[in-house]
Amino acid sequence: MDNREEVRAFLTSRRAKVSPEQAGIPAYGSRRVSGLRRGEVAALAGVSVEYYTRMERGNLAGASDSVLEAIARALRLDDTETTHLHHLARASGPTPARARVRRDKVPGIRPAVRRVLDSMTGVPAFLRNHRFDILAANPLGLALYAPMFTAGTAGPVNSMRFSFLNPHAQAFYPDWAQVAQSAVAALRIAAAQNPDDQQLINLIGELSMRSVPFRGWWASQDVYVHRHGTKRFRHPAIGELELTYEGFAMAGDEELTLLTYSAEAGTPSGDGLELLATWAATQAGVTIPAT
């Protein structure tokens, strides 16, 4: 996939966010651009205007790590944005055919990983791939995300499709706008890391066609990594839950992420998880469709 447009949009959007004052540049007279000018970014990064202009037009091929770091400093990128810039640069170069084939396959789940997931009886947990398909979940995970797993959609259960295309998602997430916006930013990172994954490209196209909010947030070029945090749920059977989540990258299976949710014992949400476990024991037939 030619990622020139992705590079152009990302660098342009980040440049627009940095004011001359933030960069330590005196601002004289009126300015026709938001944020910094290209020449100002080039000067801050120590590269020629022509070279930076070529980069911002989408050509990162051959850019060294030191140049990318200099551009990141000039644009005041955070760690996640800087990593994203490096991913875009790697995707601008030639991709081995073997890597293209590997990205288009659904990674399998090793038996040991399934055993670990099944052993996590006190917390909701599930395993997803880089396309945000849910590949496996423990009983509490199935119970927590019951509206997603019982949606009856064709194909694999996908948290992105649920968030943007399921009419129950906004009721399930009290902070839906925040959850959805961060999900789009995480999907953008996945797209940069897997630029030749046609199924991922198709997912982005589908969401762009069918969801106006998705289109708006996708155009913002923001990036985000789901490592840990707090998320609120309004479960149809249990009510309000505020849970802490942790995302664990699977060593040796870089496309897979294990997500867990927990709450401190004795709190309303901790009691809610115990009630969820009781409720889950009464449910039958909730499974994850085969991918």
Helices (DSSP H) in 17-64: which residue ranges?
Answer: 20-23, 38-45, 49-56
Residue 104 lies in a domain: no
Residue 291 lies in a domain: no
CA distance 230 to 97: 40
Residue 96: the pLDDT is 44
**pTM for the predicted model, two decimal places:** 0.84
Residues 150, 72, single domain; the answer is no
Helices (DSSP H) in 57-175: which residue ranges?
Answer: 65-74, 79-92, 97-103, 111-119, 139-144, 146-149, 159-165, 169-172
CA distance 279 to 208: 36
Residue 102: the pLDDT is 44
Residue 76: the pLDDT is 95
CA distance 113 to 252: 11
44, 60, 94 - which closes a domain: 94
Residue 288 lies in a domain: no
Nearest residue to 88 via CA among 12, 198, 195, 218:
195
Residues 136, 84, single domain; the answer is no
Residue 98: the pLDDT is 39
Residues 84, 132, single domain; the answer is no
Residue 216 lies in a domain: yes
Residues 141, 58, single domain; the answer is no
CB-based contact 35:15 (threshold 8 Å): yes
Structure letter (DSSP) for residue 232: E
Residues with Cβ within 8 Å of residue 278, at least 6 apart in sequence: none
Residues 33, 152, single domain; the answer is no
Q: What is the CATH number of the domain that holds 202?
A: 3.30.450.180
Domain residue limits at 128: 111-282
45, 64, 94 - which closes a domain: 94
Residue 153: the pLDDT is 61
- Look at the block and give the residue holding tokens 């000067």: 43
3-state secondary structure of 201: helix
CA 267 to chain centre: 30
Residue 121: the pLDDT is 87
Residues 183, 208, single domain; the answer is yes
CA distance 206 to 223: 20
Residue 39: the pLDDT is 92
Q: What is the CATH number of the domain that holds 12?
A: 1.10.260
Residues 267, 126, single domain; the answer is yes
Over its length of 291 residues, how does the chain's per-residue pLDDT go in tens digits? 568 899 999 999 999 999 988 888 876 667 777 789 999 999 999 999 999 999 999 999 889 999 999 999 999 999 999 999 999 998 887 654 434 444 455 557 888 888 889 899 889 999 999 999 999 999 999 999 999 988 666 668 999 999 999 999 999 999 999 999 999 999 999 999 888 899 999 999 999 999 999 999 999 999 988 789 999 999 999 999 999 999 998 877 778 899 999 999 999 999 999 999 999 888 765 556 544
94, 128, 150 - which closes a domain: 94
Residues 230, 119, single domain; the answer is yes
How many domains are there within the chain?
2
Residue 99: the pLDDT is 47
Residue 196: the pLDDT is 87
Residues 220, 119, single domain; the answer is yes
Residues 72, 154, single domain; the answer is no
3-state secondary structure of 227: coil
3-state secondary structure of 166: coil
Residue 266: the pLDDT is 93
Residue 254 lies in a domain: yes
Residue 116 lies in a domain: yes
Residues with Cβ within 8 Å of residue 89, at least 6 apart in sequence: 60, 61, 63, 68
Residues 119, 59, single domain; the answer is no
Residue 234 backbone phi and psi in degrees, to 5:
-120, 90
Please state the length of the chain. 291
Residue 17 lies in a domain: yes
Q: Is the dihedral of CA 183, 179, 251, 108 positive or negative?
A: negative
Residues 154, 265, single domain; the answer is yes
Residue 256 lies in a domain: yes
